[in-house]
Amino acid sequence: MLDKLFVNGQIHTMVNPADVYSVLGVKDGIIEYVGNDSDNLCARETIDLNNSIMIPGMADSHLHFYAYCQNTTYVDLAPVRSIEEMIEKMRAKAAETDKGQWIKGVNFDQTKWRENRFPTLEEMDSISTNHPIVIKRTCLHCVVANSKGLEEAGIGRYAESELGGRIELDKDGYPTGILREQTTKLFDDIMPNPIENESIRDEIFKTVMMDMSSKGITCIHTYAAKIWQYNEDIEVYKNFERQGLLPLRVTVCIDDLFEQEKITEEERKDPYRLAQLGAFKVFTDGSLGSGSAALKEPYSNRPETKGLLIASEDELIEKIAGAYVQGYQPAVHAIGDRALDVTIIAIEEAVKRAKEQGETDEDIRNRPPFRIIHAEIADEKAIDRMSRLPLVVDMQPTFICTDLHWLDEIIGPDRVKNAYPMKSMVDKGLILTGGSDCPVETYDPIVGIYAAVTRKDLNGVPKDGFLPEEKLDVFEALSMYTKNVHYATGQENEIGTLEKGKFADLVVLDRDIFNIPEDEIKDVKVEQTYLAGECVYMIK
């Protein structure tokens, strides 16, 4: 007896584009049947899909869940379109905040402001001189403070920047209020944590996870970032799981070496095991929008800088390769072409060392792959080198919606041709996973799929798409957000496609995403979401 039987659907298994069936049966959280004949099948519950599209549960391969939840308590600057508007929103918050208390704004993007620049110290001080104030860029890699905030952090004239960070000074040696990369932690280390209270944290977590279910997300890979005090704790998610309150699978990735889990074969095949540890996160550089991504040649709009590496090349290579030979799965943030080059060298070195210690090619294939996160600028040579290594590329197609408006300005026409080369990577055999880097961009996977297929912003610009030769088809884009994510954790045999014996993580869409005009993909809605065969969301 099946637990659930779905009939009269267009069930896309995502094994191959042509694999579409009408019937799917579930028992004990596992898919027991996929086919076209339901005559001899009995179930406790039969669900008529009425010709709707069913796909595997969608996933986000790279986000910062804790950070997003924390950001919900701050002033959201994402909608702001000018410095004046930012000042007004922050002043409103100051008016209701006791003097001396910190005020923080998040998600600002100066490239979307009318002025297209960072605010000056004078403009930040115009918000308030009685409150320490800091605003954090949407990429998380840059902040701007007022004078009171600089004072509280102990940043004064001739302040020195530590390796991997930068405190910007004016010609007289005074801080401008702009800090990049490692130096941003000077604020995060002293600001109060608004979700330190467990009851407040848990309520926010539950609200956000419910929203994720409504968007068809059944799995997230969430990353800690100790530099910003985003300290992910696997026990928080396991506690939700024990209470039956976890509506999605959570893989927690840490940026410190941690005690690795020993998962039995029985646990691996358990569809109800929802929370697990994942990769060891390594930063190599910053972001393009903040001017801190490490480039081989200077920024076109800031010829005085090439960005910066978080540490020396030798230190980064040793950190990545050293972790791998200890049994960890390195997940490496690399945005600029110089950072990507260092990362590739490190992976090549890690594989070499593993073989010197006796690992065979088969041993390496059976390990979870290296993960390169972002890889936003990759030329043909870099793609070729990556294709010969045991890795997946965790990309964020939604970045294109924002970056296409200013990439040419900051990296120039020659390098921009190598921006987000997703089709070139797929054609070379690389496995791409889909993520959002939330809170940098929305975690809605439908928006990511739209971006990968159209390479346009949400207003349909440009008409033919940004570098249209790099567009993916719908199957390729949807694969990024379904089956490909589970290659990253070595779980592709248990989850990610709708096949007999795999976990019954399922999503029902309100229209045929495979057969609508590409510009309409962003309007697709989720009607139902199932985790291990249990309904966690149904549209009202």
DSSP 267-333: HHT-TT--EEEEEEEEE----TTTT-S--SS--SS-TT-----SS-HHHHHHHHHHHHHTT--EEEE
Q: What's the Cα-to-Cα distance from 280 to each of 254, 257, 320, rounded to whole Å?
A: 5, 7, 9
> What angle is formed at CA 463 by the lines to CA 461 and CA 467, rounded to 5 degrees?
85
pLDDT confidence band for 371 (50 / 70 / 90)? very high
pLDDT at 380 over 80: yes
Instruction: Give the span between the Cα atoms of 451 and 445, in whole angstroms.
Output: 10
Residue 391 pLDDT > 90? yes
Pairing of strands 103-108, 75-76: parallel
Please check whether residue 518 is in contact with residue 446, taking contact to mean a CB–CB distance below 8 angstroms.
Answer: no
Q: In the structure encoding, which two tokens stand for residue 272, read together?
A: 């109800």
Q: Which of 405, 398, 506, 497 is nearest to 453 (CA)?
A: 398
pLDDT tens, residue by residue, 15-50: 999 999 999 999 999 999 999 998 889 999 999 999
* First CA to last CA distance, the chain: 29
Q: Please give the Cα distance from 373 to 333 (Å, whole number).
A: 5
Asked if 523 and 516 touch (Cβ cutoff 8 Å), the reply is no
Instruction: Determine the Cα–Cα distance for residues 284 and 164; give it in Å rounded to an integer.
Output: 9
Tokens, residue 459:
């207003």
* Selected residue with higher pLDDT from 315 and 182: 315
Q: What is the mean pLDDT of residues 385-408?
A: 97
Q: How far apart are CA 392 and CA 61, in angstroms?
A: 11
Provide mean pLDDT across the span 522-527: 98
Parallel/antiparallel/unpaired status of strands 165-169 and 175-181: antiparallel
Task: Specify the pTM.
Answer: 0.91
Q: 163 is written with which tokens?
A: 């390796």
Q: How confident is the model at residue 227 (pLDDT cuts 50, 70, 90)?
A: confident
At which residue do the structure tokens 């510009």 appear? 519
Structure tokens at 364: 């390496």
How far is Cα 349 from Cα 357, in angstroms, rounded to an integer? 12
Give the pLDDT score at 39: 86
Contact 392, 439 (CB under 8 A): no
Within 10 Å of residue 260's Cβ, how many Cβ atoms?
A: 12
- 255-274 pLDDT, tens digit per residue, is 999 999 999 999 999 999 99
Residue position matching structure tokens 């910007």: 168
Return the structure tokens found at 357. 């210690």
pLDDT the model gives residue 273: 98
Predicted pLDDT of residue 38:
87
Please name which of 443, 450, 434 lies closest in space to residue 485, comparing C-alpha atoms: 434
Calculate mean pLDDT across residues 104-115: 94
Each residue of 43-60: b (16+ CB within 10 Å) or e? beeebebeebbbbbbbbb
Asked if 462 and 410 count as a contact pair (C-beta separation under 8 A), the reply is no
pLDDT in tens, 133-158: 999 998 888 999 999 999 999 999 99
Tell me what pLDDT residue 72 has: 93
Residue 344 DSSP SS3: helix
Per the rule left: phi > 0, alpha: psi between -120 and 50, beta: everything else, 178 is beta
Per-residue confidence (pLDDT) for residue 236, from 0 to 100:
96
The DSSP H or E segment spanning 207 is helix 198-214
pLDDT digits (tens, 9 = 90+) for 322-337: 999 999 999 999 999 9
Residue 387 confidence (pLDDT) above 90 = yes
Residue 226 has pLDDT above 80, yes or no: no
Mean pLDDT of 367-396: 98
- Across 50-59, 184-193, 378-387, least confident range: 184-193
**Averaged pLDDT, 73-80:** 94
Q: What is the DSSP letter of 37?
A: -
For residue 188, what pLDDT band results from cuts at 50, 70 and 90?
Answer: confident
Distance CA 10, CA 271 (A): 24
Structure tokens at 169: 């000074």
How many Å apart are CA 178 and CA 392, to the nearest integer?
Answer: 34
Give the pLDDT confidence score for residue 472 in this predicted structure. 98
Q: 308 and 162 in contact (C-beta within 8 Å)?
A: no
Share of the chain above pLDDT 70, in %: 100
Chain-wide mean pLDDT for the chain? 95
Flag the least confident range among 137-141, 472-476, 489-493.
Answer: 137-141
Q: Is 127 helix (H, G, I), strand (E, B) or coil?
A: coil
Q: In this predicted structure, what is the pLDDT of residue 480?
A: 98
pLDDT at residue 289 above 90? no
pLDDT, residue 182, reads 82
The share of the chain scoring above pLDDT 90, in percent, equals 93
- Long-range pairs, 511-515, Cβ under 8 A, ≥24: 511/53, 512/10, 512/53, 513/53, 513/55, 513/449, 513/474, 513/478, 514/12, 514/53, 514/474, 514/475
Collect all residues with Cβ–Cβ distance below 8 Å to 540 and sequence separation of at least 6: none
Which region holds residue 429: left if phi is over 0, alpha if psi is between -120 and 50, else beta? left
DSSP string, 136-178: EETTSSEEEE-HHHHHHTT--TTPPPPTTEEEEE-TTS-EEEE
How far apart are alpha carbons 506 and 513 in whole angstroms? Answer: 15
- Over range 214-231, report the average pLDDT: 90
- CB atoms inside a 10 Å sphere around CB 139: 23
Tallying the residues shown for the chain, one arrives at 540
Helical (H) or strand (E) element with 179: strand 175-181
pLDDT (0 to 100) of residue 225: 83
pLDDT in tens, 158-167: 998 876 789 9
Amino acid (one-letter) located at 242: R
Instruction: State the average pLDDT over residues 165-189.
Output: 91
Any idea which of 218-227, 324-333, 527-536 has the lowest mean pLDDT? 218-227
Question: What residues form DSSP beta bridges with 145?
Answer: 134
Closest CA to 191 of 73, 294, 333: 73
pLDDT at 140: 84
- What's the rounded Cα separation, in Å, for the pair 451 and 455? 5
